[in-house]
Amino acid sequence: DKRVSQVAVAMGLSAISPDVFQRALYSANRSLAQMAVELDQRSRRLQRSLALLELLQSVSAALAASDDLRSMLEAYVRAMCAATWLDHVQAVVPLSRETVLLATGERTVDGVASAQVRSVSAGEWLRSQQLWSRSPAYLRGSFRLLNGSQGELAVRLRQDPDVSAKEIDLGPFVSLLGLAVERAVANREAADIAERLKVQAAQSAPAAPSPAAANSVESDQRLRLLGEMTAGAAHDLNNAIAIMLGQAQLGMLVEDVAEARHYLGAIEKSAKDCAATVRRLQEFARGTRKSQAGRTCDLAAVARESVEITRPRWRDEAQKRGIQITPVVDVPESLLVDGDAAAFREVLTNLIFNAIDAMPNGGTLAVRAWSEMGRAHLSVRDSGVGITPEVREHIFEPFYTTKGEKGTGLGLAMCKRIIEEHLGEISVFSRPGAGTTFLISLPLAGAASDAKAEGPVLQMGRTLKVLVIDDEPQVREVLQRMLRLDGHLAQAASLAREGLEAFGQERYDLVITDLGLPDMPGWDVARAIKAGSPATPVVLMTGWSEEQDRPLSGGGVAAVLVKPFGIAELRQVIRSVVPEGEARATADGSPGQNRSGG
């Protein structure tokens, strides 16, 4: 008690009794322990996502080494069987109305993968598909070819308590298979055309290439780029995980609440950047790319944030190694450019990590930004070992690295691609022993874009009664807390059946349901809700980004909320689907004052 009293007096809390202070301290420690458990669970999920990306990279590499359809399918299913979370793979490509090419892969208990490719009747394939679909661990996805036929990928999961079907996104693997099939078909048709031209010689007009053959080069390029992007995404996720783990460990060591909130904010930014990395990969795999037109970000703020979230590397790890890295940040208060803040943060994080690696004995890390002649300029400079002209010539090429096994050679290639996607340029200036400077140049945001910069997020001016349906306890809890922070009444159900029963007993202003419920798909839940109450809006939550592009009319869904999302995204969706009422503005993403309920 004496020690507790001394601590309380030192903190200016002399009026508080030791008993009250001890209870408060116990409560704070319990909250920190709960945060540590949640961070560990999130880290495990990110590690599983990283394993999926590494599998996608190895599958794309296997496809790139195969030309004809049969060898390509065999390489594909064999590479897929390297995944420890599945035991059977089946890929189907239609050859005609009566015949399909069936590729099957098996993973044995000792981890050995076997593959077989054979032609079977469509009826035999359908019968095997019906047997497969009875398994609860069965996942499938389909792809459409240029000739209008439809192929399929199906996998059966192993019995593993650490992996659930909801965490496996087959979308990129299905898209990759479709691209590879198109390439193989195009190569075969191109070879047939070349053979016919040899026979015809110059006596007749050359045969016109088919649409598939015309797309052969594009398919090859997309396969190569997808392989690079998956490896680059894994590289960036590793960076983000390192940041989050470092910030989490620092946050658990501090006792000051304000400082702990600072570390939590850095973790939140890194988590959002992870989500943005995965979504960019999903968009590329599906052959889509969402336009950044009309989106404005503050490059100066991104620079400050990037230096801050990498602090565990340039300060704490450096101190452990007995060296000092001094950061110098010279940026204006604001520097607006058109584009994606998460993508720019990804670029700067890569450049800062490279700068740290280039200073094994410590030094200066300088990040500067300025505007000149209608363009925004940003530089990252280190006082490290420098690079030779030979290395400088190849530094932005994929898979080129000077770090040996420690490096992937993809960080700078990804940086270059992101900057060029935003109509910018990136260059490097260096000489051995004199440090290195990376310079980025981007168009400044125009006056029209300035007006579209993100403003305050509006909350509903009235209390809503919301039904949340999700089988993940943590998702339900977080979503309920978000809703209650805005003063809404939130009730939760873990299954579709429970949710529909609750909806039948009470009136709700809004229903938010997950897509992948164990007992019923979210689309069917929405139709059931609309059948009983056509005026009640239904929002569908999903981690599958392609659902966002699915037509909503006729499905009973008013909007799709792609995971992961924050308070700002949740508020925006609610305001878009609930009839307008009085609204009040708050800072972006911050909770508003509680009103009645909750």
pLDDT of residue 199: 59
- Per residue in 299-333, pLDDT (tens digit) is 999 999 888 877 767 887 777 778 888 999 999 99
Query: Could you tell me which of 309, 317, 343, 307 has the C-alpha nearest to residue 232?
Result: 343
Q: Are 113 and 78 in contact (CB under 8 A)?
A: yes
pLDDT of residue 395: 82
Beta-ladder partners of 490: 466
Phi/psi at 318 (5° precision):
-65, -40
Scored b (16 or more CB within 10 A) or e, 58-72 reads: bbbbbbbebeebeeb
- Per residue in 141-159, pLDDT (tens digit) is 888 776 667 888 888 887 7
Q: Which CATH class is domain 65-214?
A: alpha beta
Query: Could you tell me which of 93, 102, 103, 80 has the C-alpha nearest to residue 158?
Result: 80
Tell me how far apart the alpha carbons of residues 424 and 233 are, in angstroms, rounded to a whole number: 21
Three-state secondary structure string covering 44-82: HHHHHHHHHHHHHHHHHHHHHCCCCHHHHHHHHHHHHCC
Tell me how far apart the alpha carbons of residues 540 and 557 are, in angstroms, rounded to a whole number: 7
Provide the pairing of β-strand 489-493 with 465-469. parallel
Q: Peptide bond preceding 18: is omega within 30 degrees of 0, i.e. cis?
A: no
Residue-range domain boundaries for the chain: 65-214, 291-451, 457-586
Three-state secondary structure string covering 487-552: CCEEEEECCHHHHHHHHHHCCCCEEEEECECCCCEHHHHHHHHHHHCCCCCEEEEECCHHHHHCCC
Query: Could you tell me which of 214, 218, 219 has the C-alpha nearest to residue 190?
Result: 214
Q: With 90 as the cut, is the pLDDT of residue 466 above it?
A: yes
- Per residue in 513-568, pLDDT (tens digit) is 988 787 888 888 999 999 889 889 999 987 654 444 454 555 678 888 877 777 88
Tell me how far apart the alpha carbons of residues 314 and 249 are, in angstroms, rounded to a whole number: 15
Tell me how far apart the alpha carbons of residues 245 and 249 are, in angstroms, rounded to a whole number: 6
> Among all chains, which residue has been given the structure tokens 């069987």?
81
Q: Which CATH class is domain 291-451?
A: alpha beta
Query: Could you tell me which of 328, 418, 400, 315 has the C-alpha nearest to residue 362?
Result: 315
- Per residue in 205-223, pLDDT (tens digit) is 444 444 444 444 444 444 5
- Per residue in 34-58, pLDDT (tens digit) is 777 777 777 777 777 777 777 777 7
Please give the angle made by the CA atoms of 220, 222 and 226, to the nearest 5 degrees: 120
Q: What is the mean pLDDT of residues 563-578?
A: 83
Q: With 90 as the cut, is the pLDDT of residue 425 above it?
A: yes
| The residue count for the chain | 598
CATH of the domain spanning 457-586, picked from 3.30.590.10, 1.10.645.10, 3.40.50.2300, 3.20.190.10: 3.40.50.2300
> Whole-model pTM?
0.40
pLDDT, mean over the chain: 74
More confident residue, 349 or 436: 436
Tell me how far apart the alpha carbons of residues 419 and 427 are, in angstroms, rounded to a whole number: 11
pLDDT of residue 247: 60
Tell me how far apart the alpha carbons of residues 598 and 594 are, in angstroms, rounded to a whole number: 8
pLDDT of residue 142: 81
Tell me how far apart the alpha carbons of residues 593 and 583 are, in angstroms, rounded to a whole number: 13
Q: Which of 251-265, 546-560, 580-594 is predicted most confidently? A: 251-265
Q: What is the mean pLDDT of residues 586-591?
A: 40
- Per residue in 377-412, pLDDT (tens digit) is 999 999 998 988 888 888 887 666 666 555 555 678
